[in-house]
Amino acid sequence: MSSPSKFAPSAPQTGEPLARLLGVRKPLDARARFWVGVLAFALPFLSWCAVSYVPFIWHPQVLVSSAGDTKVTGEYSYVAEGDTVDLDVFVMRNRELAAAHAKLAEGKRVNPIYLQAPHEVARAMYTAFTTAPERTGDAWLHESLLQSCKVIFWGFFWSALFGVPLGILCGTFPFFARLFEPFVDFVRYMPAPVFGALMVTVLGLADEPKIAIIFIGTFFQMVLIVSNTTRSVDASLLHAAQTLGANKRQLVWHVVVPGALPGLYRDMRILIGWAWTYLVVAELIGEKSGLSAFIYQQQRYRHFDNVYAAIVIIGVVGLCVDQFLAMLARYLFPWETGQNKLFRVMRAMRRALPQRVLARI
């Protein structure tokens, strides 16, 4: 071989670390992927910490610890001990006091009540679960959370139960696509919340209208998305199956459905996210319930730490469900990732073989 280097395994990438990180469409290596992913959450969190804990960043208000000489009258004499006032008001008051040669007001710069510090939200994420609701009869946070999950589950369940088969039907037979899709497309443009009042009238004040709103919000989109995904199954697979003797029923069950399945699963993951969006509207119609009611209630009490805690909990629940579904997909659709045990052994073997032998395989 005159040029052995051509077949040698490629040398480990060298070069400036930064240049390697910022390559145009160059995949990151495993370690960089992990740490940059951590950074994705760390950066927003660190900016939140900075705004909350570094006194000179933002902090547009002053919590008055001592009002100074309250006998001095003036435009700003309403500033009293324990108040939270805007910084410029506090400065003006002190100017009035200074002009009168009186004792100055003292205070600490704070953020507005709607910006809670990380430790306060963290504490609330625990205390919100352990604190009894202010009005007896209101739901505890864990009850609200469970209630929300229940509404989401049933709304999505009914939506998928009818939407997926109908979508597959439309994606498989142009006849059904023409029969259903124009109307579905028409209803799709009606925002689900506009059906709120109607649903309450028909279905009462309890969970049913809320489930119905989530159903309306996801079902019509689902039919169209599922039918598109079903249509995207490679037509040549259908031809191949036909030349192997598959009849119409077998084409649907043995080619269209398994071919569309991984795509449909991805669609469902995205649509569950939509269901959470409609949840917030759905829970505020009829009798308010679930996390949205909790957030609404806490906001009225100005317990913003609890509001943030509930919002973060929604995010965490959504992320966990999605990650769980993604993990499940690796077991459900091993052909998508090709990550079964045998494959790893085969890949290792292929790497061990010289290139010239490989070319013949």
Q: Does 255 bind another protein (CB under 8 A)?
A: yes
Question: What number of helices (H) and strands (E) belong to the chain?
Answer: 16, 3
Under the binding rule (CB under 8 A), the answer on residue 217 touching another protein is no
Largest CA distance in the chain: 101
State the Cα–Cα distance between residues 93 and 215, nearest whole angstrom: 57
Among 109, 231, 254, 266, binds another protein (CB under 8 A): 254
Determine the interface stretch with another protein among 66-74, 120-128, 265-273, 343-351 (rule: CB under 8 A).
343-351
Q: What angle do CA 13, 15, 20 make, to 5 degrees?
A: 75
263 scored as a contact of another protein (CB under 8 A): no
User: CB 197 → another protein: shortest distance, Å?
Assistant: 46
Pick the stretch among 7-15, 32-40, 178-186, 254-262 that binds another protein (CB under 8 A).
254-262
Tokens of 96: 């009035």
Burial of 282 (0-12, 13-18, 19+ CB in 10 A): buried
CB of 118 to another protein, least distance (A): 45
Site membership for another protein, residue 343 (CB under 8 A) = yes
Count Cβ neighbours within 10 Å for each residue of 322-339 and write b for 16 or more, e otherwise: eeeeeeebeeeeeeeeee
Contact range with another protein by CB under 8 A, out of 29-37, 144-152, 237-245, 303-311: 237-245
Tokens standing for 295?
Answer: 């957030």
Of positions 194, 240, 270, 316, contacts another protein by CB under 8 A: 240
Part in contact with another protein (CB under 8 A); list of ranges 33-41, 74-82, 257-265, 315-323: 257-265
Residue selected from 42, 270, 346, 353 as contacting another protein according to rule CB under 8 A: 346
Tell me if 154 sits within 8 A of 300, measured CB to CB.
Answer: no
> Is residue 281 within 8 Å of 218, Cβ to Cβ?
no
> Do 71 and 102 meet the contact criterion of CB atoms below 8 Å apart?
yes
Please say which residue, 14 or 236, places its beta carbon nearer to another protein: 236
Q: Tell me which residue of 245, 284, 40, 12 sits closest to 148, measured CA to CA.
A: 284
Q: Is 357 in the site for another protein (CB under 8 A)?
A: no
User: Residue 32 or 346: which CB sits closer to another protein?
Assistant: 346
* Distance separating alpha carbons of residues 113 and 85, to the nearest angstrom: 11
* Cβ atoms of residues 212 and 203 within 8 Å: yes
- Using the structure block, give the residue that is written with the tokens 């469902």: 268
Our CB check for another protein shows the closer of 43 and 244 to be 244
What is the rounded CA–CA span in Å between residue 278 and residue 177?
Answer: 26
Question: Is 361 an interacting residue with respect to another protein (CB under 8 A)?
Answer: yes
Among 261, 312, 317, 321, contact with another protein (rule: CB under 8 A): 261
Q: Any contact of residue 258 with another protein (CB under 8 A)?
A: yes
Determine which residue in the list 197, 244, 316, 319 makes contact with another protein, applying CB under 8 A: 244
Nearer Cβ to another protein, position 33 or 239?
239
352 touching another protein, by CB under 8 A: no
In angstroms, give the least distance from the CB of 1 to another protein. Answer: 17
What CA–CA distance (Å, rounded) separates 229 from 244? Answer: 24
Chain residues 323-342 in contact with another protein, contact rule CB under 8 A:
333-336, 338, 340, 342
- Give me Rg for the CA atoms of the chain: 30
Q: What does the binding site for another protein look like in residue numbers (CB under 8 A)?
A: 234, 236-237, 239-247, 250, 254-255, 258-259, 261, 333-336, 338, 340, 342-343, 346-347, 359-361
